Amino acid sequence: MKSEIWLFSGGLLFFLPIAFVYGLLTQWNEPVGFVCLLLTAGLAVLVGGYLAVTGARIDERPEDNPRADITEGAGEQGFFSPHSWWPLALSFGAALVFAGAAIGWWLSIIGVAFSIVFLIGWVFEYFVGEHAH
């Protein structure tokens, strides 16, 4: 996973020094840029660090081997829903919640009620009924 790890962690090598350069150039009088550049370095290291830890824990993937065959990548990739109406329904509920902030909080309450039902429907779609496992 070396290429993926450096693709993301590379941001650390840029944003961390730049944060201190920014701090020095502003004589540490302007904390916004320094803090946000540090957190941007955090953005890079969060993904890069996670991939590094995961990469050390799993076996070498076919993608890491230049001489690998396509067939070596076969097998379970993860669970993917073939289709689902719940995300659309939930986005409708969420839209009501945020529309309530502009129109009136009563609308948000209705939106929350809808959202709870649709969220439960989505989360449990493959855990109850004919798809239960």
Query: Applying CB under 8 A, which residues contact other proteins?
Result: 1, 30-32, 35-36, 39-40, 42-43, 46-47, 50-51, 54-55, 57-59, 61, 75, 77-79, 119-120, 123-124, 126-128, 132-133
Cβ proximity to other proteins, 21 vs 63, nearer residue: 63
In angstroms, rounded to a whole number, what is the distance separating the alpha carbons of residues 110 and 97? 8
Min dist CB 112 to other proteins, Å, is: 11
Nearest to residue 2, comparing CAs of 41, 40, 55? 55
C-beta separation of 60 from 73 below 8 A? no
Cβ proximity to other proteins, 92 vs 124, nearer residue: 124
C-beta separation of 55 from 1 below 8 A? yes
